[in-house]
Amino acid sequence: MNLVLPSLGFGIITASTLLPAAVGFTLQFSATGVLNIAFGAQMTFAAFIAYVCTQAGLSIWLALAAAAVCGALASALLNRFLLTPFARRGTTFFGMVVVTIALALLVEYAVELIWGPLPVSYPLTAPGLVHVGPMSFTHSQLVVLAIGVVFAIGTHALLRYTRAGKAIRAVADNRDLARSSGISAQRITDLAWLVSGLMGGAAGVMLGISLSSVSYTMGDTFLLEIVAAAVLGGVGQVYGAMLGALVIGVLLQESAIVLGGAYAPISAFAVLILVLLIRPTGILAGAAKAKGVS
């Protein structure tokens, strides 16, 4: 039997998880200029917060909301009390990357120390299957898909129709210009970290749901897929990241079927490298901006 179409369903689920993560990652990167390697670890942290919530008797969806909020707060605090002070001290771009790697290790291994090295899982309700053509989804997968769509629409609305969103876009396009036209960089930076923490937190829980297990290395592994989606879409391009998430998500699942599970990440990255060779600025990148000393 041909499995390509059914696995498209899995691909879409993976993409729904990848979408808020990639959008959050790229939004924060373009607005603040900090390449945040700790993003995956933040996702893991949120996923475990949700686990604690479900252990305390909350439903998984409430736990997801709580984890997203925690993720947002943690991310904002992190920026305020760690990254901004380092940036003020004149730490270079490269230095900041190293700071976030250190942070990733701290968070990841703290999670391991607290919750142990073995994976845990969320209590999910019995899986009734819903069939859509050749694809079938569990109820939780459908909710994950719905959340992904909500995030896509929400991001679009935020960036297009709110003042804050427009300001983020302006800063992402040209930080110096935006600053000189009176946009408060500090507030936008805070907001960008908050939003990316929210999205990352939600994505962490969504990942835990779709993998049906949560472990301390989970976010770190997933980070590579996030980076792949973000780079594929053109770093800083929010809609590009959405498209990148879809492409990488579907590609991961399809190649798992065609080539075998172990090869799935490799094929996705191979496509990424190929795209970069043809279009170094990503699939959705606009015309090259005159970057540099101006």
Partner 1 sequence: MPENSVVSQQQVPAAVSPASAGQDGEPLLRVAGLTVRFGGVVAVDDLSFGIMPGTAVGLIGPNGAGKSTALKVIGGEVKPTSGAVLFDGVNLAGRPPHVAARHGLIRTFQLGGEFARLSVMENLLVAVPRLRGQSIWGALAGRRWWAAAQDAEVRRARDVLSRLDLTDKCDAYARDLSGGQRKLVEIGRALMARPKMLVLDEPMAGVNRSLARHIEEALKALRDEGLTLLLVEHELGSVERLCDRVIVMAEGRQIADGDMGQLRSREEVLRAYLGGG
Partner 2 sequence: MDYYLLTVCIYVVVGIIACWGLNLQFGETGVLNFAAVLFVAVGAYTASLFSLGHPTPASYQQYFWGTSLPWPLPWLAAGVAGGALGLLVGLLVLRRLRGDYQAMVLLVVSTMGTYLVSADPGLLNGSIGLASIPAPFKSELHTGQVGYELFYLGLSVVTALIIFEVLRRINASPLGRVLRAVRENEQAAEAVGHNVAATKLMVMVVGGAVAALAGAIEVQFIGAWAPAGWTYPETFGLFAAVIVGGRGNLGGVAVGAFLVQGLFLEGTVLLPNFGNPDVIGAVQWMSLATLILLFLWFRPQGVIPERQRRFREGQPGPLRGLLPAQAFARVGRGQQNA
For partner 1, the binding residues (CB under 8 A) are: 286-290, 292-294
* Crossing angle of helices 60-78 and 185-211, rounded to 10°: 140
Stated as kind and residue range, the H or E segment containing 149 is helix 139-161
Least separation in angstroms between CB 26 and partner 2: 11
Look at residue 263 and give the partner it binds from partner 1, partner 2, none, a contact being a CB closer than 5 to 8 Å depending on partner kind. partner 2
Q: Which is nearer to partner 1, 187 or 289 (CB)?
A: 289
Q: Which is nearer to partner 2, 53 or 226 (CB)?
A: 226
Look at residue 123 and give the partner it binds from partner 2, partner 1, none, a contact being a CB closer than 5 to 8 Å depending on partner kind. none
In terms of Cβ atoms closer than 10 Å to its own Cβ (0-12, 13-18, 19+), residue 245 is buried
Q: Which is nearer to partner 2, 74 or 103 (CB)?
A: 103
Least separation in angstroms between CB 263 and partner 1: 38
Look at residue 269 and give the partner it binds from partner 1, partner 2, none, a contact being a CB closer than 5 to 8 Å depending on partner kind. partner 2
> Which residue reads 């923490």 in tokens?
197
Q: Which is nearer to partner 2, 133 or 292 (CB)?
A: 292
Q: Which residues bind partner 2 (CB under 8 A)?
A: 29, 35, 37, 86, 89-95, 97-99, 101-103, 105-106, 108-110, 112-113, 116-117, 224, 227-228, 230-231, 235, 260, 262-263, 265-266, 269-270, 272-273, 276-277, 280, 291-293
Look at residue 273 and give the partner it binds from partner 2, partner 1, none, a contact being a CB closer than 5 to 8 Å depending on partner kind. partner 2
Least separation in angstroms between CB 47 and partner 2: 18
Q: Are 15 and 248 in contact (CB under 8 A)?
A: yes
Name the DSSP class of 261. G
DSSP string spanning 50-111? Answer: HHHHHHTT--HHHHHHHHHHHHHHHHHHHIIIIIHHHHHTT--HHHHHHHHHHHHHHHHHHH
> Which residue reads 């920026």 in tokens?
79
Least separation in angstroms between CB 291 and partner 1: 9
Nearest 10 degrees: CA dihedral of 240, 241, 244, 250?
Answer: -130
> Which residue reads 């969320």 in tokens?
122
Least separation in angstroms between CB 179 and partner 1: 15
Q: Which is nearer to partner 1, 174 or 267 (CB)?
A: 174
Q: How far apart are CA 186 and CA 235, in angstroms?
A: 21
